[in-house]
Structure 1
Amino acid sequence: MSRDRYVDFLRAWAIVLVVLGHWLITALRHGPGGELTAPELLASVPRTQWLTLLFQIMPLFFLAGGHAASGSWARTRSAGGTAAGWVGRRAVRLLLPTAVYSGLVLLAVAVCSAVGVDPGTLALVGWAMAMQFWFLPVYLLLSALTPVLHAAHRRWGLAVPVLMGAVALTADALVLTAHAPYVGLLNYVLVWGVAYQLGFCWRDGLLTERRPLVPAAMAASGGLAFAALVALGPFPVSLILVTGQTPSNTDPPSAAMLSWAVAQVGACLLAAPVLRRLLDRERVWRVVRPVGGVSMTLYLWHMLPVLVAAAAFYLTGLAPEPALASAAWWALRGPWLLVLGVVLAAAVSVLRPLEGGLMRRYERTRPDAGPYRPWLLWPGLAAAVTVLTRFATQGFAHDGGFPVLPALGLAVGTALVLLHRRPADRSDEHSEDATGALEEAA
């Protein structure tokens, strides 16, 4: 079955907008004592929270991920493959580049801590380098649950995301009324899982071919529900976390976020015919395709250019520092984005071959041919999800020092996942035939 260019475009577009959104709202200040601070634009200038409606399109990434996972798991299942093999393959392609990234960042944290870098500065940098990690444990969990979720989809179809949405609304109501924050943790899987599950429905035609009015109904009802929840309360307009803002639409994902996700999915399906025709043009596809191929690298490393720019322009006092959100500040966003884009492009040109080389090496030495070791895979996934969640919430240097136990936990979890495949026979060790052909991590 040929790849759907529109699905690949959605994943690439979502990552690009996330990167641009993070860069756009990042503000830096050089203090009188030489310290570097990062005032929070969305908290300092509340009107800028409306920008998040443009840049929070991760629901489309989960939608596209569900579409791709549905096809991949269906093919594996029809060929007699196992859940452990399929889940392990996808976990490896998320965890290997994540482990490379985390290992290098943790090494830098260790060196900085050893030479006496200010703990507050180190904690800030450690948080900035882990702010994007919230996505990884959620996606790993949904990938691990895909065989079960897809079985439910085959039996009940659209009823599954509807039920997930209803449970998510109930959980959110308990968070707001009964002050039960731990119940809200379910919504990380339920709300993003609705978009993921709708990807299954999209691929099988349940949202389009058989029900052509569904996309318009989703876009309209989701948009109106979001507007009502924001206008009538108690939810803010911001679709990313704002310090001190309660409730939040993302921590945990709220009813307003669920409404926005439904609206985005509907709008995406409505736009599909036009965008598919555009993507059929080879000139356009030649621009989109390379971005999709490096999306994981872009996502992981996109805050590195901010640190480079901070050291080169802010710590040295070279960067002008107009008032936050003033006309001059917005005018400087153009050069700021350009500098960060150039630095990230240079970083990706170095890092992507490293990640690809490690993946090819792994595929040669541990081919995806089974039998697998589920007793290594599942504990490894559990450890990785736990540690990545910790990094996402606290950063790489929460207390200004090196996180010994989390670093060890990530190393052990990643190693267990990698070891769930058995080594290749010596006679096959140098074969170029990698049984598990590389595909996007998502």
Structure 2
Amino acid sequence: MSRDRYVDFLRAWAIVLVVLGHWLITALLHGPDGELTAPELLATVPWTQWLTLLFQIMPLFFLAGGHAAGGSWARTRAAGGTATGWVGRRAVRLLLPTALYGGPVLLAVAICSTVGVDPGTLALVGWAMAMQFWFLPVYLLLSALTPVLHTAHRRWGLAVPAAMGVVALAADTLVLTVHAPYVGLLNYVLVWGVAYQLGFCWRDGLLTERRPLLPAAMAAGGALAFAALVALGPFPVSLILVTGQTPSNTNPPSAAMLSWAVAQAGACLLAAPAIRRLLNRERVWRTVRPVGGVSMTLYLWHMLPVLIVAAAFYLTALAPEPALDSAAWWALRAPWLLVLAAVLTGVVTALRPLEATLIRRYEGIRPDAAPYRPWFLWPGLAACVMALTRFATQGFAPDGRFPVLPALGLATGTTLVLLHRRPADGRGERAEKTDGPKGALEEAA
């Protein structure tokens, strides 16, 4: 079965917009004592919160991920593959690049805390380097649940995302009315899971071939619901966390975020025919395809160029610093983005061979072949989800200190996941069929 170029485009587009959005809202200024500060643009300049409607595009990544995962899991089932093998393969493809990123960052934090780097500065840098980690535990959980979710999809179809949405609304109501924050944690899986589950429905034609008017209804209904919840309800317009803003649309994902996800999914389906025609042009596809292959590297490492440029141009006072939100400040966003893109291109070019070698060596030592060790995989995944969640919420250096327990959790969990495959023993075990070599996020989806 040929791959859907539009699905690959959506994942690449989502990652690129996330990177550009993070860069755009990053502001650097010298404080009164000469220290470098990073004022929160969305809080300092409130009108910029409207920009998040353009850059919060991760619902489309989960939609495309569900589409691809549904097809991949269906092929694995048809070939006699197992849930452990399928989930483990995707977990490895996510966790090896994550370990390659997290290991050096944690080592740098340990060295900096040992030599006495200012705790406030270290905490800020540690937060910047972990701000993108919220995605990883959610995606790992949805990947692990895919066999169950897809079974429910085959039986009940569109009723599954509808039911998940209803439960998400109930959970959000409890968060708002009785202040039950732990209930809200369910919405990380439920709200993003709705988009993921809609991806199953999209692949099987439940959103298009059988119901041609449904995409338009989703786009219009979701957008109107979002507008009503922002205008009449308690929700802010920002689709990215703003310090001190309560309630938030992302922490946990709210009813407004759910509405926006449905609207984005509908708009994506409406745009599919026109964009597919563009992607069928080989010149266009040759531009889009490489981005998908490096999507995980882009996603993990995109804040490192900010630190490099800050050290090179801001700590040395070479960069001009016009007033925040002035015309001059916005004019400087263009060269700022170009310089960051150039640095990230160099980082990705250097890292991709290393990532590929790491994965290739692992595949050679521990080939993707049954039997597996589920008693290693599932506890390892649980440990990784907890550790990554801790990094996402507190950064790599909470209060300027080395995070001992999360670091141990991530190291232990990743090791257990890697050990779920047995070492090669030369007996020629039959490997479960995969979809070929891909970038980490592309394979994991």
Judge same fold: TM > 0.5, yes or no.
Answer: yes
Alpha-carbon shift at residue 32 of structure 1 (Å): 3.4
Normalised to the residue count of structure 2, the TM-score between the two structures is: 0.97
Output aligned runs, 1:347-362, within 5 Å.
347-362=347-362
8 Å Cα contact 1:168-1:186 kept in structure 2: yes
Deviation at 1:318, TM superposition (A): 1.0
Residue 322 of structure 1: how far off its partner (Å): 1.1
Q: For 1:270-310, what per-residue CA distance to the aligned partner results, in whole angstroms no more than 9, with x for missing partners? A: 00000001000000000000000000000000000000011
Q: How big is the shift at 1:30?
A: 1.7
Which segments of 5 or more consecutive residues in structure 2 lack a partner in the other structure? none
Residues 352-391 of structure 1 aligned to structure 2 (within 5 Å): 352-391=352-391
Residues 258, 173 of structure 1: alpha-carbon distance in 2 compared, 3 angstrom cutoff: same
- Separation in 2, partners of 1:318, 1:233: 46
Q: Return 111-120 or 379-388, whichever deviates more.
A: 111-120
Per-residue displacement from partner, 1:147-202 (whole Å, max 9, x unpaired)?
A: 00000000000000000000000000110011111110000000000000000000
1:251 aligned residue? 251
CA contact (8 A) 1:6 1:272 kept: yes
Structure 1 match to 2:437: 438
1:328-343 → structure 2 map (5 Å cutoff): 328-343=328-343
| 2:51 alignment counterpart | 51
Deviation of residue 428 (structure 1)?
6.7
Give yes or no for contact 2:369–2:432 (8 Å, CA) kept in 1: no
Residue 60 of structure 2 corresponds to: 60
Q: Name the SS for the 1:305 alignment partner.
A: helix
Partners of 1:360 and 1:434 within 8 A in 2:
no
- The ranges of structure 1 where at least 4 consecutive aligned residues each deviate by more than 6 angstroms after the TM superposition are none
After TM superposition, give the deviation of residue 115 of structure 1 in Å: 1.7
Query: How much does 1:403 deviate?
Result: 1.3
Matched, 1:400 2:400: yes
Please name the residue that 2:318 is paired with: 318
Aligned to 2:114: 114
Output aligned runs, 1:182-221, within 5 Å. 182-221=182-221
Moved more, 240-249 or 359-368: 359-368
Would you say how many aligned residue pairs link Structure 1 and Structure 2? 439
Tell me what 1:73 maps to.
73
Letter in 2 for 1:383: A
Secondary structure (helix, strand or coil) at the match of 2:399 reads coil
Residue 133 of structure 2 corresponds to which residue in structure 1?
133
Q: What runs of 5+ residues in structure 1 fail to find an aligned partner?
A: none
Question: Counterpart of 2:298?
Answer: 298
Secondary structure of the residue aligned to 1:249 is: coil
3-state DSSP of counterpart to 2:80: coil
Q: Is the 8 A contact 2:370 2:432 kept in 1?
A: no
CA distance in 1, matches of 2:66, 2:405: 33
Which residue of the partner structure matches residue 412 of structure 2? 412
Deviation at 1:33, TM superposition (A): 2.6
Secondary structure of 1:27's counterpart equals coil
Q: Do the aligned residues in 1 keep the contact of 2:12 with 2:288 (CA within 8 Å)? A: yes
**1:12-68 deviations in whole A, cap 9, x for unaligned?**
000000000000000011223332211000001111100000000000000000000
Alpha-carbon distance between aligned partners in 2 of 1:435 and 1:268, rounded to the nearest angstrom:
30
* Aligned-partner Cα distance in 2 for 1:65–1:409: 26
Query: Partners of 2:403 and 2:120 in 1: how far apart?
Result: 15
- The residue aligned with 1:163 is 163
Note the alpha carbon deviations across 1:391-436, whole angstroms, 9 max, x for none.
000000002021122111110000000000000124779xxx9965
